[in-house]
């Protein structure tokens, strides 16, 4: 077991120091570099949190959410896919490829439950990625989407 | 590249003098300009024999080029064609294909004073107050550019003009995704929608290829020049219009569809006044989805330069993090288009 602080806390602290102490002392051109570093750190912090939640879920025996959704879309069993591909991430990669091919071939074109399920899936997966990489823009787009509902 | 080094200085001074039509000059300043993940820009200040000073920008491709970006000699030809069509651009000065001068081909254009970074412009109240006028001007420039249409003489080095701009680009994006290391179901959904709703082939014009406020120089609230022509290509007239309006380029003012500076309608007004064409709202919506999808794919290509291309640039790595933003925007725009809702604010 590692000693404190854990990775996310350590990085958050590094990011705060960068923004509060280092950035103001930098010249204009170097500031944009420092802001990019801060941005990269915040994404890594968010990813550590996501990975930690996934790990906890896996420890409790909860199936990977993305894998479950993909398997449902493709009419397969998540557990069987995990078994066949030697782990959840390999299974997600494999099923994503199949899903992409089916979307391209028009298999999800007809309006109906399957089409709607796909829409929910791609929105969900994309929102989850954006929640890590740019939560501010995620909120912007979500607000805009709801505006005319 | 050490442009300021002694070995480079002498041949460069000779070249600049020749380009400016003087027997000799002394470069009193050689400094890299900020910005540009694809091209390197340097400002050169030349002291002329009569002691006057002339500032030019030297532009050259980076060592690792981007697919579809034009080499310096070709970008120079596009810059000249745009200038001849009446588009406000920095005056093209000279092109150098001889690698003996600085080690790579480059071209020179006049330095244009002003600001082009949108996040800086957005902090200038006077610029924001003039936002719609600026956009109108930008629309006029685009209209002038689009007077350049494919023919045998015009820019022969460009990839042949597409017959069907949308469908051909969709096929290219899919071909790229097939070579990518993992699948992108959200982009596939957008591409499928674009394929099923593709408009019939329309006129083909010269596109800037990266048409956005970040490539417009604004000096004291007045737009003065359009920059960065290395991604020029033949395409649909709506491509550049939609690109300029993408959320990604609106920065702190996502509510202002016209590049974060003003109303999209102001951009369209200038464009319409020059081309005499009105924009079909459905087509605009189609190309909005198209732009976001294309940018999502381009961002994958950019980050591939970082991951497998060996170009260790944090800027490129962060572009890759933007993919999800364009994906979600494209999905949301499709959702809205399908619901027949008005296209944004």
Decide if pLDDT at B285 tops 90: yes
Taking residues B235-259, what's their average pLDDT? Answer: 96
B163 in reach of chain A (CB within 8 A)? no
Decide if pLDDT at A76 tops 70: yes
For testing contact with chain B, the best of A100, A118, A146, A148 (most B CBs within 10 A): A100
Instruction: Give the confidence band of B67 by pLDDT, cuts at 50, 70, 90.
Output: low
Instruction: Give the confidence band of B331 by pLDDT, cuts at 50, 70, 90.
Output: very high
| pLDDT value for B343 | 39
Closest alpha carbon to B25 in B5, B57, B51, B56: B51
Q: What are phi and psi of B205, to 5 degrees?
A: -135, 175
Please state, in angstroms and rounded to a whole number, the distance separating the CA atoms of residues B180 and A16: 35
Instruction: Give the confidence band of B345 by pLDDT, cuts at 50, 70, 90.
Output: very low
Nearest neighbour of B324 by CB, restricted to A33, A96, A126: A126
Closest alpha carbon to B181 in B300, B293, B66, B65: B300
Q: What are phi and psi of B39, to 5 degrees?
A: -120, 155
Decide if pLDDT at B286 tops 70: yes
Please state, in angstroms and rounded to a whole number, the distance separating the CA atoms of residues B243 and B335: 19
Taking residues A97-114, what's their average pLDDT? Answer: 97
B336/A148 CB distance under 8 A: yes
A115 in reach of chain B (CB within 8 A)? no
Please state, in angstroms and rounded to a whole number, the distance separating the CA atoms of residues B208 and A2: 54
Contact B320, B182 (CB under 8 A): no
A130 in reach of chain B (CB within 8 A)? yes
pTM above 0.90, yes or no: yes
Average pLDDT in chain B? 92
Of A121-130, B53-62, B296-305, B334-343, which range is least confident? B334-343
Instruction: Give the confidence band of B342 by pLDDT, cuts at 50, 70, 90.
Output: very low
Taking residues B116-134, what's their average pLDDT? Answer: 95
Q: Encode pLDDT of B260-279 as tens digits.
A: 999 999 999 999 999 999 99
Helix, strand and coil content of chain A, in percent to the nearest 5, comes to 80, 0, 20
Of B112-116, B236-240, B336-340, which range is least confident? B336-340
Please state, in angstroms and rounded to a whole number, the distance separating the CA atoms of residues B335 and A118: 13
Contact A41, A11 (CB under 8 A): yes
A69 in reach of chain B (CB within 8 A)? no
A121 in reach of chain B (CB within 8 A)? yes
DSSP conformation letters of A37-69: HHHHHHHHHHHHHHHHHHHHHHHTTPPPHHHHH
Instruction: Give the confidence band of B2 by pLDDT, cuts at 50, 70, 90.
Output: low
- A108: exposed, middle or buried (C-beta count within 10 Å: 0-12, 13-18, 19+)? buried
Decide if pLDDT at B159 tops 90: yes
| pLDDT value for B344 | 34
Decide if pLDDT at B243 tops 60: yes
| pLDDT value for B269 | 98
Closest alpha carbon to A34 in A56, A49, A17, A46: A17
| B231 Ramachandran zone, left/alpha/beta (phi>0; psi -120 to 50) | alpha
A109/B177 CB distance under 8 A: no
A103 in reach of chain B (CB within 8 A)? yes
What does the block give as tokens for B178?
């097939």
Establish whether the linkage from the previous residue to A5 is cis, with ω within 30° of 0. Answer: yes
Nearest neighbour of B188 by CB, restricted to A93, A103, A109: A103
A97 in reach of chain B (CB within 8 A)? yes
Decide if pLDDT at B312 tops 80: no
Residues of chain B found within 8 Å of residue A40, distances taken between Cβ atoms: 314, 317-318
B335/A145 CB distance under 8 A: yes
Residue ranges of B 27-56 with Cβ closer than 8 A to chain A: 34
Instruction: Give the confidence band of B310 by pLDDT, cuts at 50, 70, 90.
Output: low
B171 in reach of chain A (CB within 8 A)? no
What ipTM score was computed for the predicted complex, to two decimals? 0.91
Closest alpha carbon to B37 in B15, B81, B69: B69
A103/B192 CB distance under 8 A: yes
Virtual torsion, Cα A127, A133, A136, A140, nearest 10 deg: -40
Residues of chain B found within 8 Å of residue A141, distances taken between Cβ atoms: 247, 325, 328-329, 332
């Amino acid at each position: 077991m590692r000693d404190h602080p854990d990775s996310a806390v350590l990085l958050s602290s590094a990011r705060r120091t960068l923004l509060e102490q280092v950035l103001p002392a930098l010249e204009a051109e170097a500031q944009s570099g420092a802001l990019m570093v801060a941005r990269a750190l915040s994404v890594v912090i968010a990813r550590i949190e996501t990975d930690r939640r996934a790990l906890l879920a896996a420890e409790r025996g909860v199936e990977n959410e993305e894998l479950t959704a993909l398997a449902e879309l493709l009419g397969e069993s998540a557990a069987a896919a995990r078994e066949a591909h030697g782990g959840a991430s390999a299974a997600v990669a494999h099923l994503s490829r199949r899903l992409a091919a089916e979307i391209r071939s028009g298999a999800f074109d007809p309006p109906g439950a399957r089409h709607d399920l796909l829409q929910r899936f791609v929105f969900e997966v994309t929102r989850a990625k954006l929640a890590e990489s740019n939560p501010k823009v995620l909120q912007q787009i979500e607000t805009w989407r709801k505006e005319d509902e | 590249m050490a442009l300021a080094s002694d070995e480079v200085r002498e041949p460069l001074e000779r070249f600049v003098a020749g380009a400016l039509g003087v027997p000799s000059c002394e470069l009193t300043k050689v400094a890299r300009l900020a910005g540009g993940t694809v091209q390197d820009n340097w400002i050169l200040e030349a002291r002329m024999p009569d002691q006057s000073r002339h500032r030019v920008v030297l532009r050259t491709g980076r060592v690792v080029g981007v697919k579809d970006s034009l080499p310096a000699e070709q970008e120079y030809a596009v810059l000249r064609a745009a200038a001849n069509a009446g588009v406000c651009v920095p005056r093209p000065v000279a092109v150098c294909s001889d690698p003996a001068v600085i080690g790579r081909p480059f071209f020179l254009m006049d330095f244009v004073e002003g600001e082009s970074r949108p996040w800086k412009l957005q902090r200038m109240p006077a610029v924001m107050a003039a936002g719609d006028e600026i956009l109108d001007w930008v629309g006029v420039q685009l209209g002038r550019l689009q007077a350049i249409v494919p023919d045998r003489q015009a820019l022969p080095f460009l990839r042949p003009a597409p017959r069907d701009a949308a469908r051909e680009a969709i096929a290219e994006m899919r071909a790229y995704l097939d070579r990518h290391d993992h699948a992108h179901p959200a982009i596939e959904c957008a591409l499928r929608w674009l394929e099923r709703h593709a408009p019939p082939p329309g006129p083909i014009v010269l596109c800037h290829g990266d048409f956005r406020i970040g490539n417009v120089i604004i000096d004291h609230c007045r737009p003065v020049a359009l920059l960065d022509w290395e991604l020029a290509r033949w395409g649909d007239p709506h491509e550049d219009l939609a690109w300029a309006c993408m959320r990604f380029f609106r920065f702190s003012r996502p509510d202002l569809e016209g590049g974060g500076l003003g109303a999209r309608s102001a951009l369209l007004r200038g464009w319409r006044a020059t081309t005499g064409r009105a924009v079909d709202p459905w087509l605009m919506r189609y190309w909005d989805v198209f732009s976001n999808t294309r940018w999502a794919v381009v961002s994958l290509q950019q980050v591939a330069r970082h991951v497998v291309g060996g170009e260790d640039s944090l800027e490129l790595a962060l572009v890759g993090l933007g993919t999800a933003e364009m994906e979600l925007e494209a999905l949301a725009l499709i959702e809205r288009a399908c619901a027949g809702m008005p296209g944004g604010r």
